[in-house]
Structure formats: structure tokens, C-alpha cells
């Protein structure tokens, strides 16, 4: 494959994925609007499929082009009123978009084609198209005052929309307007958009400018439920009349002439200035910025050395260094902003799969998305898709009750899953809430006993039950299906989120529902970290996981059941010594400081743990780099970073560190000493 062909494929997949994301969002709107779907929405979907067909055809992707063509044919009949919008049609549209998405993915990953059943989908489309409703024989012009030229100018689709407006009891008005040649396109577009907010512009026809001026006239056929005064308020420069025979209308009130220059308010700019950039290029730029931060740290150290010998020169260099630091932060912020995408992009993908899962298990489930505009790093958003989908599948299969059970409990037939995204500080929070049966602690305990995770007589509280749900292979499913019971459980979700420096917690009430709360940093491109020292080695702890830090002495530490704890503001804080966790020796210290240590209070989900270290070095921006396979399997390691003078240090993953070592680190230390 030549470089040009490879670039063309990349551009195609990028644009096709964008089109499919928009189509998914539009289908959600169609579903929400029910039988009263606005015609411009169907037209928008039709245009999107048509664009995808054209793109695929130019590059020779025959399967995508063929499916898009069949789908376009069905959508054309749908917008013409020859096919009724119902559940079967909406489900088919979702499945078609999902299949198109798989076909687009197969451009880069040919193995995806094995998951596609094209003949079955094309057969479903063919069945709906061949069983379409018979076309109406009603004359759309029977009760309208339209001249022959206007009738001949209308397309078949415009005739259909004209008839639909008359059938539904809407007024059909003629809106005649004249614009100056210099800006008629922008002003006509603005007027059309305003009218469509409260009705439907059925057709836009050119007309003769009877004023004799330097202008161009149009006649808009407009269907609406508004009275004439309301329409005139939206288009004060227009001549508005009814075109319906049966309408005996009172004379229109005198119309005031718009002041000269008032029409200038209608002009808008709509020139796209978007440039698509491959995320790999942004990663490269971000790496360079990260290296510049390292150089800046070294420069600051040199400035301190110079200042010790020459105060004046040191001060001047200090000013330059501070300016450099400020500009680097501005550059960092700009690049991070470029990498941001709305989480609504992954919501649309999740919606398609979730609907399919609900159909497979025979449940009526309503998905509600909120906060789609909340932004997250592009790479993190992509990695987040699978964990979110797993949680939603669990909610559909385990959480939402069957229809009869919901009726017995006095709940609506349709279960509801609400996915809400919002920003909290430097983190993004995503709540996945269902109104299902909640988590049964007794059932969790029963499964845990059967698997030997706890003793038969051991009792557990809700917090412990939720912890058990994240045990590898844990499942309360009684049968194996395509949805659950295969031993791939929430432990995978938690692991994937921890790799993103995030965490997940559960809030549940039996009979009322469950919320899975996912918390993630906005970006991992460049983050603030606390550099600490333990056992003679330096480590970086992401500040997103740090609540506070404090100095302690041996007398501050108590032992409860062989576990070290610290009393912090009337709260018992469990302690974990970092050098114990990684098997590092105690750091040699002067006798006066032999017992002095520092505690970094960290949080992972609902767990708060004090990490004991020998020293707090400084705060610093870092770029997290991946580590090799050998280090990746070590609990507590998120990656590595360079902090200056070619020093590579490990970045701590607080979630896996606490989960793996938590209460055992102190005991490990005791055994080592023995």
C-alpha cells in the first residue's frame, strides 16, 4: 500500500466515524420524538448516509457503499411517508449504523468482517422496503390557492410535506420576501432557520422582484400552528398570506416598515475552520512539551547555583525562567485543550450496543444521557468505552428487572439507565444509574462462600460486598449467556480504569437501583505529581489521588490488629509504607531525624490510605510513559517518567497499590525482618 493510499484510508475512517457518531445521535432524537419526528431530522439522517455512500464509493469500499445505498433507498421512502416510523424501523436503523461502524473499523482491522452478517441485514431492509405502504392518491393541491407554475415547481417530496401539513391541521402560509443581492444567501438561511423553529419551510421558490430595485425575491411555503402575528414577528420584512381556500381570514393589521439597517442583525458567519489532526501527532507534540518541562527544571537548578555566586545575574535568569515556565504552561494547556473531545462521542456508540443487549434479553430499557458536552482527553475517551459498556450491560442484565417483576413492584414497565457526565475539579465523573433491583448483599455473600472467598459463618457489610464484586471472575449470574456468566467481571472494568489513573465506586439501594461512579483525570498527557522519596528511591504520585500530606513521628503511629494506623482529625487512617510495598531497605538518616517520616493521604474510590514515605521532594509536571511487560504486572506501578538530569522514576498507581498491599505491607515488613 502506498503512502497516499494509507493516508486516504485514514482520512476516510476519520470522516466516516464522525458521520456515524452524528447518525447515532440523530437516531436517538428520532426515538425520543416518537411518531412526531420532525422531517428535517429524517432528511439529516438521509444526507448523512448519502455522504457516507459517496465517500465509500470514491475509495472502492464496496460493502459500505452497497449497504449505504440500500439504507438510503429505505430512508428516502421513510421521508416520503411511504414507510411508517415504528419500533421495527428504528431497531433496523440502529443495527444498520452499528454494521456500518464495524465495516469502517474493518478497513483497519480486517478481522472485524467476521462479526458482520450482511445478507441478513440487507434482507431486513428489503422486507421493509417491499412491504411499504401504498402511496396516497390524495391531491395535495385540492384545498390550496397555488398557481400552476408553483405546482409544477414542487418536487415529489415537497408535495408530500405540503399534504402532511394540511392533514395535521397546520396553516399553510406564503412568506414572500426580498433581499439585496450582496447578502441574500445568509439572510435567507437565517430566516429559514428561524421559521423552522416553530414550523416547517416546505419549499423555497424564486419570485419576481416587483420593487424594481437591486434585489432578489423568494416565496416560502410555510406550514405552522402559529398565528399570523407570531409569524410576522419572526419575518417583519415579509409579505405573509394564506394559501388555503377554506381559510376566511380577517385583514392583516398594518405592518410597520423595518428601520434601515435592521436586517444587518440577520447576517451570520458559517465558515468552518476545522482541521483534523491525527492523535499520534498531538502525542508527539505533548512529549516534546514534557521534555521541555524537564529542561526547565534543570534550568531552575542552574539559576539557583548562579544566584549563589552572582545575585544580579541570578535574578535576571530567574525572570527569564519564570517567563519560560508561564509560556510552557500556556502551551501545555493549549495542547491539552486540542486533545479534548465531548464524552457524547462515546455515548452514541454505547447507545447502539446497549439497545441491542436490551433486545437480546427481552427487556424494555430507556437510556438517558446527560452532560454529553463534558470534555475528556481523546485517548482516554476511547479507552473508557469498554468499561462503560460493561457496566451498562451489567445494569441491563442484572439490575433492570423483567417487565412483570417491575409491575409487581409498582415501577414503570420500561427500566431507565441514566448516564451523567460532569467535571469535578481536575477530574471527570461519570455516573451510570439504573432504577433496577439494586445489589443483594445476601446473594453476593452466598456466591463468595461458594467460591471460598469468605468463611461460611463470616458476615459482610455492604462495603465488603461491593469489594467482592471486583474479585476476578466473580459473577452472580446463574447461567452462561452472551451477556454474562462467562467469568469476565467487574475486575476487568476496575483494572482498565486504574490503568487510566481512575477508579470506580458503587452506590446501591435494594429495590431502588444502583449507581456506578467512575472518576477519571481529564487527561494523562501532562499531569501534576508529588515527587517523594522512599527507601533511597524517588517516586511520583499523581496529585489527583492526593488529599494532603503531613509529617509524623513514631509516637503518632499505633498498631491495631498488627496493622499500622494514624489518628487524623478523629479518624483512623490506615498506613502503608511505600518501601515495605516494594521491598526497599530503610533509608539511612541522622540520629536526630531517625524516626521522622511523612504521610501522603491518598484516595482511591471510597478508600483513604496514608502512604508513608521518607521525604517529600517537590511538585512537578510529568509525562507518564508506559513501562515494559515485566514492570506492568507489578501492582502499584502506573508507568514511568523523567524528572530531570536523565533520572527515570516510577509513577505510583494508588488504586492497585492499595488493593494489593493495603493491610499486608506492615506484616510483610515484619516477616522480612525475621
Kindly indicate the confidence band of residue 644, based on its pLDDT and cuts at 50, 70 and 90. low
Identify whether residues 556 and 614 lie together within a single domain: yes
Is 141 inside any structural domain?
A: no
Work out the mean pLDDT of the chain and round it to a whole number: 79
Residue 276 φ/ψ, nearest 5 degrees: -80, 130
* Same-domain status, 545 and 475: no
159 within domain boundaries: yes
Kindly indicate the confidence band of residue 265, based on its pLDDT and cuts at 50, 70 and 90. Answer: very low
Of the candidates 655, 527, 535, 541, the residue with the CA atom closest to the CA atom of residue 584: 535
| Window from 163-172, 518-527, 664-673 with minimum mean pLDDT | 664-673
Mean pLDDT of 627-644: 76
Query: Does 669 score more than 50 pLDDT?
Result: no
E strand residue ranges, 73-214: 171-180, 199-207
**Residue 227 sits in the same domain as residue 325:** no
Could you report the per-residue pLDDT of 123-143, keeping only the tens digit for each? 888 888 887 654 555 565 666
Average pLDDT over residues 386-411: 89
Residue 491 sits in the same domain as residue 457 = yes
pLDDT of residue 619: 87
Asked if residues 583 and 672 have their Cβ atoms less than 8 Å apart, the reply is yes
The answer to whether residues 417 and 468 belong to one domain is yes
pLDDT in tens, 272-286: 455 667 777 777 887
User: Do residues 115 and 159 both lie within one domain?
Assistant: no
pLDDT in tens, 500-556: 878 888 999 988 999 999 988 887 767 888 999 998 889 999 888 898 999 988 888
Residue 433 in this model has a pLDDT that exceeds 90: yes
The residue that leads in pLDDT, 618 or 592, is: 618
pLDDT of residue 674: 35
Report the CATH number at residue 649. Answer: 2.40.50.180
DSSP state of 471: S
Question: 297, 316, 340 — which closes off a domain?
Answer: 340
For the beta carbon of residue 632, count every other beta carbon within 10 angstroms. Answer: 12
pLDDT value, residue 248: 41
pLDDT of residue 114: 65
pLDDT at position 481 over 60: no
Rounded to whole angstroms, how far apart are CA atoms 22 and 29? 11
Q: Tell me, yes or no, whether 258 lies in a domain.
A: no
The burial class, CB within 10 Å (0-12 / 13-18 / 19+), for 149 is: exposed
Mean pLDDT of 417-423: 92
CATH for 184? 3.30.70.1910
CA dihedral 394, 398, 399, 400 (to 10 degrees): 110
Asked whether the predicted pLDDT for residue 271 surpasses 50, the reply is: no
Helix, strand, coil content of the chain in percent (nearest 5) = 45, 25, 30
Domain presence at residue 136? no
Question: Which domain does 307 fall in, by range?
Answer: 279-340
Q: Is residue 266 part of a domain?
A: no
State yes or no: pLDDT of 251 exceeds 70.
Answer: no
| pLDDT value of residue 264 | 39
Counting residues of the chain whose pLDDT is more than 70, the rounded percentage is 85
Residue 178 lies in a domain: yes
Lowest mean pLDDT among 86-100, 229-243, 445-459: 229-243
- When pLDDT is averaged across residues 156-182 and rounded to a whole number, the result is 77
In terms of domains, do 433 and 353 share one? yes
621 vs 602 pLDDT, higher one: 602
Torsion angle, alpha carbons of 59, 64, 69, 71, to 10: -150
Say if residue 356 is in the same domain as residue 491.
yes
* pTM of the predicted protein model: 0.62
Residues 349 and 366 in one domain: yes
Domain contains 139 = no
Q: Residue 379's pLDDT is what?
A: 81
- Residue 369 resides in a domain: yes
User: Hey, CA dihedral for 291, 297, 301, 303, is it positive or negative?
Assistant: positive
The verdict on 484 and 556 lying in the same domain is no
Among the residue ranges 98-102, 177-181, 274-278, the one predicted with the least confidence is 274-278
pLDDT value at 482 more than 70: no
Cβ count within 10 A of residue 97: 26
Say whether both 472 and 435 belong to one domain.
yes
Per-residue pLDDT band at 32 (split at 50, 70, 90): confident
Decide which of 470, 489, 521 is a domain's last residue: 521
Q: Looking at residue 71, which CATH number applies to its domain?
A: 1.20.120.160
Do residues 582 and 600 lie in contact, with contact meaning Cβ atoms separated by under 8 Å?
no
- Mean pLDDT in residue range 350-361: 81
Say yes or no: 405 and 468 in one domain: yes
Task: Answer left, alpha or beta for residue 569, where phi above 0 means left and psi between -120 and 50 means alpha.
Answer: left
pLDDT of residue 525: 67
Highest mean pLDDT among 226-230, 253-257, 326-330, 499-503: 326-330
Residue-wise pLDDT for 647-657, tens only, equals 788 889 888 88
**Would you say residue 473 has pLDDT above 80?**
no
Looking at the predicted structure, is the pLDDT value of residue 253 above 60? no
Grid cell of 614 as nine digits: 521518607
How far from 523 is each of 283, 339, 347, 382, 627, CA to CA, in Å? 12, 9, 18, 12, 18
Does residue 266 carry a pLDDT above 50? Answer: no
**Is 341 a residue whose pLDDT tops 60?**
yes
Total of domains in the chain: 5
Q: Name the domain boundary from 97, 130, 163.
A: 130
Asked if pLDDT for residue 185 goes beyond 80, the answer is no
Q: How far is CA 500 from CA 467, 517, 661, in A?
A: 20, 15, 20
Amino acid at each position: 500500500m502506498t503512502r497516499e493510499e494509507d493516508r486516504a484510508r485514514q482520512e476516510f475512517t476519520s470522516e466516516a466515524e464522525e458521520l456515524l457518531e452524528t447518525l447515532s445521535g440523530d437516531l436517538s432524537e428520532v426515538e425520543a420524538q416518537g411518531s412526531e419526528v420532525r422531517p428535517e431530522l429524517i432528511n439529516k439522517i438521509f444526507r448523512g448516509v448519502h455522504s457516507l455512500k459517496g465517500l465509500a464509493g470514491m475509495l472502492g469500499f464496496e460493502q459500505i457503499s452497497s449497504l449505504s445505498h440500500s439504507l438510503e433507498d429505505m430512508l428516502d421512502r421513510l421521508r416520503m411517508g411511504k414507510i411508517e416510523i415504528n419500533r421495527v424501523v428504528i431497531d433496523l436503523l440502529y443495527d444498520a449504523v452499528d454494521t456500518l461502524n464495524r465495516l469502517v473499523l474493518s478497513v483497519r482491522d480486517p478481522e472485524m468482517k467476521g462479526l458482520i452478517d450482511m445478507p441478513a441485514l440487507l434482507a431486513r431492509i428489503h422486507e421493509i422496503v417491499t412491504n411499504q405502504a401504498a402511496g396516497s392518491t390524495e391531491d395535495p393541491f385540492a384545498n390550496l390557492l397555488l398557481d400552476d407554475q408553483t405546482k409544477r415547481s414542487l418536487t415529489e417530496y415537497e408535495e408530500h410535506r405540503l399534504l402532511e401539513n394540511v392533514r395535521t391541521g397546520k396553516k399553510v402560509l406564503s412568506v414572500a420576501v426580498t433581499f439585496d443581492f450582496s447578502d441574500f444567501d445568509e439572510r435567507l438561511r437565517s430566516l429559514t432557520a428561524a421559521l423552522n423553529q416553530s414550523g416547517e419551510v416546505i419549499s423555497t421558490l424564486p419570485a419576481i422582484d416587483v420593487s424594481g430595485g437591486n434585489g432578489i425575491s423568494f416565496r416560502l411555503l410555510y406550514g405552522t400552528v402559529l398565528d399570523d402575528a407570531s409569524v410576522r414577528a419572526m419575518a417583519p420584512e415579509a409579505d405573509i398570506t394564506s394559501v388555503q381556500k377554506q381559510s376566511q381570514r380577517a385583514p392583516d393589521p398594518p405592518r410597520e416598515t423595518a428601520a434601515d439597517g435592521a436586517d444587518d442583525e440577520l447576517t451570520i458567519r458559517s465558515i468552518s475552520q476545522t482541521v483534523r489532526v491525527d492523535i499520534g501527532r498531538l502525542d508527539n507534540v505533548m512529549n516534546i512539551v514534557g521534555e521541555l518541562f524537564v529542561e526547565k527544571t534543570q534550568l531552575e537548578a542552574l539559576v539557583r547555583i548562579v544566584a549563589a555566586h552572582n545575585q544580579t545575574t541570578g535574578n535576571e535568569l530567574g525572570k527569564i525562567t519564570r517567563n519560560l515556565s508561564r509560556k510552557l504552561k500556556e502551551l501545555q494547556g493549549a495542547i491539552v485543550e486540542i486533545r479534548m473531545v465531548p464524552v457524547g462521542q462515546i455515548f452514541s456508540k454505547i447507545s447502539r450496543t446497549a439497545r441491542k443487549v436490551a433486545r437480546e434479553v427481552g427487556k424494555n430499557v430507556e437510556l438517558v444521557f446527560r452532560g454529553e458536552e463534558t470534555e475528556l482527553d481523546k485517548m482516554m475517551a476511547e479507552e473508557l468505552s469498554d468499561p462503560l459498556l460493561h457496566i451498562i450491560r451489567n445494569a441491563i442484565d442484572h439490575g433492570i428487572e423483567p417487565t412483570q417483576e417491575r409491575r409487581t413492584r409498582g415501577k414503570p414497565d420500561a427500566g431507565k439507565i441514566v448516564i451523567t457526565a460532569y467535571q469535578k475539579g481536575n477530574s471527570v465523573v461519570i455516573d451510570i444509574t439504573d432504577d433496577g433491583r439494586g445489589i443483594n448483599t445476601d446473594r453476593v455473600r452466598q456466591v463468595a462462600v461458594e467460591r471460598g472467598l469468605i468463611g461460611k459463618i463470616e458476615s459482610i457489610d455492604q462495603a465488603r460486598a461491593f469489594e467482592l464484586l471486583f474479585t476476578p471472575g466473580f459473577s452472580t449470574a446463574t447461567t452462561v449467556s452472551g451477556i454474562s456468566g462467562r467469568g469476565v467481571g467487574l475486575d476487568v472494568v476496575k483494572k482498565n480504569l486504574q490503568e487510566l489513573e481512575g477508579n470506580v465506586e458503587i452506590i446501591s439501594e435494594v429495590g431502588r437501583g444502583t449507581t456506578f461512579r467512575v472518576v477519571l483525570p481529564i487527561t494523562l498527557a501532562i499531569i501534576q505529581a508529588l515527587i517523594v522519596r522512599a527507601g533511597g528511591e524517588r517516586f511520583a504520585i499523581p496529585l489527583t489521588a492526593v488529599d494532603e500530606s503531613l509529617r509524623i513521628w513514631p509516637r503518632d503511629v499505633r498498631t491495631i490488629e498488627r496493622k499500622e494506623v494514624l489518628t487524623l482529625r478523629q479518624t483512623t487512617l490506615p498506613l502503608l509504607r511505600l518501601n515495605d510495598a516494594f521491598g526497599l531497605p530503610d533509608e539511612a538518616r541522622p540520629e536526630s531525624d531517625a524516626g521522622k517520616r511523612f504521610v501522603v493521604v491518598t484516595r482511591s474510590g471510597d478508600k483513604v490510605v496514608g502512604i508513608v514515605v521518607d521525604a517529600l521532594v517537590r511538585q512537578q509536571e510529568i509525562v507518564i510513559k508506559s513501562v515494559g511487560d515485566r514492570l506492568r504486572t507489578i501492582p502499584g506501578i502506573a508507568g514511568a517518567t523523567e524528572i530531570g538530569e536523565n533520572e527515570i522514576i516510577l509513577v505510583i498507581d494508588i488504586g492497585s497499590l492499595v488493593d494489593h498491599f493495603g493491610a499486608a505491607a506492615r506484616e510483610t515488613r515484619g516477616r522480612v525482618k525475621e
